[in-house]
Structure 1
């Protein structure tokens, strides 16, 4: 019991940090939550073969509430394009659900290396933001379907909401930035929900996981993270109008590089 309390205290702190960063810099929490959980979860008996899966699944499930809060705000401002949302949803649902099965097919060490490289790529993109030129409009439904599957699978494998991949794609499709972000936040809920369901399904019959897990999701850590992240995200959003966010993004990018290198070498 003492170790669970210890973990939840640290996850409350983690949630506060992640929520504030999400509001301040507009980043998804998975890039921080997953590495932090890789350190914390062994203390409560989650063994090496399942550690990365539990960290990713717990991060992904935490994004459900974060995305819902963001989506509600964007919905109220009319920043959701339902035509694009409807076109993307079938591929998003399939890709997100399959991500848990694909993750289990990976050897944990290889998946950790893939995650480490992804973290470093996101850091580079944060330092040198990708500039996307809008195309004439939406591609064909079959192309959107395939792209939706790919984006959702990558997001589910990395334990993120997908905004870092979806927003550039939607801007390329011709959406204004506000609509791209708002539509992405709605899709993030779907990715997180169906991705979490995939990890619940694949982890359901794993008997070596400790009490408190739902499939591969470690519920005590999840509850602690979301209980504070939803409180600090608005504070981060307020600070964004005062603090020098471009400089802070570069500092955070350096932090991600360090995390990525450490994961790659461990």
Structure 2
């Protein structure tokens, strides 16, 4: 029964991801959080983050492949940001597994992240301005700053880190938006891979929701989400082509605010 429910949730998450053009982590995380908390799983925060990173890793591969097909693939910069992002993932993982990163802290941080995403999408719906290239140089220092910050956010919230990477590269470094998205897509593959592997091989005994677990990664809960997400992703893209993007972006902002409110309500 849980398997079917997770597949359906995955279809919904994939449809929304395809419709709004976002990474799956921003939706995988709340779904897994509600699942793990509602079933009474002990210490649900690291389980949510680790399993969401596994789901995000799988989903992000298809995004990067799509970027390559569209000949918008900057593999050197993407690998550099992703590899350096693993450093940020490590520091985030240390924080998550400390006694100070409680469920309340996680919900507060993730809700703030959701509010930021909602504001960004709403502002995007109100303007058609796109930042153009001013400085196209992208060295190790810039890649390190973006990667480390993206990795920290990824491991603290269970997302790919794109919400940090794209604004830094587009707004701060003045890279063309298409290039920033391409670099972020590949970097997210490496950052999320590093994330779930680091959580998977933590020492100690951890009892998850299903028996298919390694460390804090619950594959039994993540795989049904991934299956549904792949199916829903194609549906979301098709729907997106027939709906005005202005209404899509406003709708997503409202949806994100609802999710944030629900997460806050779960600990109130």
Same fold, judged at TM 0.5 (above)? yes
- Determine if the alignment matches structure 1 residue 156 to structure 2 residue 155: yes
TM-score by length of 2: 0.86
Q: CA RMSD in A?
A: 2.2
- Determine if the alignment matches structure 1 residue 26 to structure 2 residue 25: no
Take 2:236 and 2:152, find their aligned partners in 1: how far apart are those partners?
A: 29
TM-score by length of 1: 0.87
Task: Report the counterpart of residue 137 of structure 1 in structure 2.
Answer: 136
Relative distance call for 1:140 and 1:189 in structure 2 (3 A) is closer
Task: Report the counterpart of residue 200 of structure 1 in structure 2.
Answer: 200
Q: Offset at 1:107?
A: 2.3
Relative distance call for 1:176 and 1:222 in structure 2 (3 A) is same
Please list the CA deviations of residues 84-107 of structure 1 after superposition, one character each: whole Å capped at 9, or x if unmatched: 224423321222243322211222
Aligned match for 1:127, one of 98, 122, 126? 122
Q: How does 1:63-74 map to 2 (within 5 A)?
A: 63-74=56-67
Contact 2:133 2:174 in 1 (8 A): yes
Take 1:207 and 1:90, find their aligned partners in 2: how far apart are those partners?
A: 28
Q: How does 1:245-264 map to 2 (within 5 A)?
A: 245-264=245-264
- Determine if the alignment matches structure 1 residue 186 to structure 2 residue 213: no
Take 2:217 and 2:223, find their aligned partners in 1: how far apart are those partners?
A: 11
Q: Offset at 1:127?
A: 1.0
Of stretches 54-63 and 87-96 in structure 1, the one that deviates more from structure 2 is 87-96
Of stretches 137-146 and 248-257 in structure 1, the one that deviates more from structure 2 is 137-146
Aligned match for 2:46, one of 46, 53, 76? 53
Contact 1:8 1:221 in 2 (8 A): yes
Matched residues, number: 258
Q: Offset at 1:53?
A: 1.6
Task: Report the counterpart of residue 165 of structure 1 in structure 2.
Answer: 164
Task: Report the counterpart of residue 216 of structure 1 in structure 2.
Answer: 216
- Could you tell me which runs of 5 or more consecutive residues in structure 1 were left unpaired when the two chains were aligned: 1-5
- Could you tell me which runs of 5 or more consecutive residues in structure 2 were left unpaired when the two chains were aligned: none
